[in-house]
Amino acid sequence: MNRNLISWLVVAGVFSFAVGCGGGSAGDSDAEDGFGGEDAANTGGEDGATGGEDASSGGNGAGANAGGDGAGASTGGNGAGAGASTGGSDPGNSGGGGGSSPPVTVDCTHVGSGTDYQVGPGKAYENIGDVPFESLVAGDTVRIFHRAEPYREKMMIAGVGTADQPVRVCGVAGPNGELPVIDGNGATTRPQMDFPFNGHQPRGLIIIGHAHDRPYEEQPSHIVVEGLELTGASPENTFTDKSGAATTYGPAAAGIFVQRGDDITVRGCAIHENNNGIFMGTGSGVDATRRVLIEANHIYLNGSLTDFFEHNVYNEVEGITYQFNHFGRPRAGANGVVNGANIKDRSAGTVIRYNWIEDGGHLIDLVEAQEAKAATLAMPSFHESFVYGNVLVRNGTQDGSMVHYGGDSGTVSDYRKGTLRFYQNTVVVKNAGAAAYDRPAVFELSTNDEHLEATNNIFFSTQAGTELSPIVMLGRRDGVTSGIATFTTNWVSPGWTPWDQTPGTETQNVATAAGLPSPIGGTDPGFTNAASDDYTLKSGAPVIGVGTDLASSIPPDLAVTLQYAAPQHAVPRAAESPATLGAMGAP
C-alpha cells in the first residue's frame, strides 16, 4: 500500500446555507459511456480522455437522510482543498482529500489576492458571460449571487491557481439559503471562452480543462467550484455555443465536466437532472486529472433517459475522495427503471467515506481503468480502495449488486485485481414486499483476483430474507459468483446468504466467503428509528463496543473519526475500543 498520503487544506468559513434545489448489469459500461471512443472526433489528439424523482426520504437525527430535494447543506470553506502536485506518482489511498475534521460552511467571500468578479443584479457583471473566464488567474474569485431567475449560461475554467490562492467560482446564497441556479437548458456561451477543443462544448455546463490556446503543458490547477445548483446538461436540451449556433448536449454531458486538471474541489453544490452529474475523464501524463475532492454536495436524479452509460458521478482520475455527500437516487429512464450507477469510478486512490448513498444500478461501481490505465494500472492505490463510514440504502429488491468491484468490459487484465476495504458502514435493504425469486445482492466481485475485506459493518434488512427471496452477500454475473471475501465482526439480519442458493436458480460458484454466517445478528441492531431513516444508535444497542480493532490494518489517515450527518456534513465520532459496528458511533 502506498503510504505517501496527500494532505489537503480545508479552511472553515462563516456562511451556511440550505440547498434550495427544487439491475443486474445496469450501470455497466464500455466505450459508449463517454470514456474512450466518443471524444476521438472532438479532441484532435490532445485529449485522449473522456473524449424520475428522488426516492430519498426524510428522517430525524444525525443519521437521517438529507430529506429530499430541498435538503440543506453545511459545507466546506474557501480553501483550495488540495495539496502540492505529485506529478504522475501514485496519489496514495488518501484519494484526493482529507483533513481530520468536516467542513463547516461555504464562505463565498473573496479572500484571494486576485480580482473579485461579482455577478448578479446590480453587480459589476450582470451576467456570467460578462466575466473574462479565459483570463482567470490564481487568487481570482467569481462570485455568482442568487437571483430569482436561473442563470442560463455556460462556463469554461482553465486557470492555474495555487493551494493558498485557488481559482474559485462560488455561489452567494439568497436570503433563505437558496443557491444560485445555473441551468443548461437554453444556456448561452461567452464567445471568448477558450475550450480544449470546440467539440468539448456539448460535454458540460461547467467545463474545467486546458485552454486550447495556452501551452500544452500548462495544467489547470487548484480550482474550486462551490455553492451552486447545476442542472439541465442533458441531450433533451440545447444551448447556444460560442459561435452562436444552437447545439444539443452530448450523451455524456455533465453538470461539471473535467477534461484535465490538478487539485479540483467540488463542494456544497446541488447537481441534478444532467446526463452525468459530475464527469471527470482523464488520460495519462499531462492529460491526467489528479487529486480531486468531492464533498458536501447533494447529487441526485442524474443519468440517461435511454441507457445505462451515464451516472450520478462518473470519474477516472489519480486520487479522489468523496465525503459528506448525499447521493440521492439517479434519474430513471423512460421505463421508470434506474439504470445508471450512483458512484461509478475508474480511479486510482479512491476513498468513499461518510456519505449517504441511495439506490442506482449499483450504488458504488469500482471498475477497471480505461483512458488512464497506462499510468494507473501500475499504481498500488488502483488496487486498493477504501469505503467506510457510509450509509448505503437500497429501496426495494432490484436485481443487481449494491457494490461492484472489479471490472465490466471483459478485458480482465485491466480489472482492479486488488482489495476493497469496506468497514464501519451501515447497509440497509428495504425489502418489504419482496416477491419469490427477488434476490438483491450486496457485493459483486468480478473475478477471484478481486478481494473483499468487510469488517465492523451493519447489514440490515427491513424484513428477514427467506429461502425464495434471500439477500445475497456475493452476487453473480453471467451465472457465475466470483471473488474472495472475508467478513469479520459484522451484524447481519436474518435470511442473508453468502451467495444465491435459491432452489431452481442454480449458479456456478467459484467464490469464497469466510466469516459467514455471522455470529452477530438479529432483527434489531438498535437504530433510533429505522422507519424514519434514522440509523443513529440507541443506548444499549447490541452493536456498541463489539467490533474488531482495525488499527493494525488501516492507515491512521483512513481511520473512522467522523459520521455522516444530515444534511451533507459530518460530525465527530468518538474513538472507541472495541469499536461500534456501522456508520454511527455510540450515543
Report pLDDT digits (tens) over 408-461: 999 999 999 999 999 999 999 999 888 777 889 999 999 999 999 999 999 999
95 pLDDT band (50/70/90 cuts)? low
pTM reported for the whole predicted model: 0.87
Write the pLDDT tens digit of every residue in 308-339: 899 999 999 999 999 999 999 999 987 788 88
For residue 379, give the C-alpha cell. Answer: 499504481
Write the pLDDT tens digit of every residue in 221-266: 999 999 999 999 999 999 999 999 999 999 999 999 999 999 999 9
Q: What does each C-alpha distance from 193 to 26, 185, 210 come to in angstroms?
A: 37, 19, 11
Q: Tell me if 399 sits within 8 A of 440, measured CB to CB.
A: yes
Q: Which residue has the cell 446538461?
A: 233
Q: What is the mean pLDDT of the chain?
A: 85
Most confident stretch, 51-55, 74-78, 487-491, 566-570: 487-491
Instruction: Taking residues 175-187, report their average pLDDT.
Output: 96
Q: Tell me if 333 sits within 8 A of 111, measured CB to CB.
A: no
According to the model, what pLDDT value does residue 1 have?
37
Neighbours of 23 (CB within 10 A): 17
3-class secondary structure per residue, 304-336: CCCCCCCCCEEECCEEEEEECCEECCCCECCCC
Q: What does each C-alpha distance from 359 to 36, 69, 326, 350, 391 come to in angstroms?
A: 27, 15, 11, 20, 11
Report the distance separating Cα 150 and Cα 242, nearest Å: 20
pLDDT over 60 at 268, yes or no: yes
Instruction: Taking residues 459-479, report their average pLDDT.
Output: 91
Could you tell me how far CA 343 lies from the centroid of its own chain? Answer: 5
Could you tell me how far CA 496 lies from the centroid of its own chain? Answer: 27
Instruction: Taking residues 285-303, report their average pLDDT.
Output: 95
According to the model, what pLDDT value does residue 338 have?
86
What is the secondary structure of 69-97 as a DSSP string?
Answer: TT-EE----SS-------TTS---TTTT-
Report the distance separating Cα 366 and Cα 529, nearest Å: 31
**Residue ranges covered by each domain of the chain:** 1-22+66-75+99-328
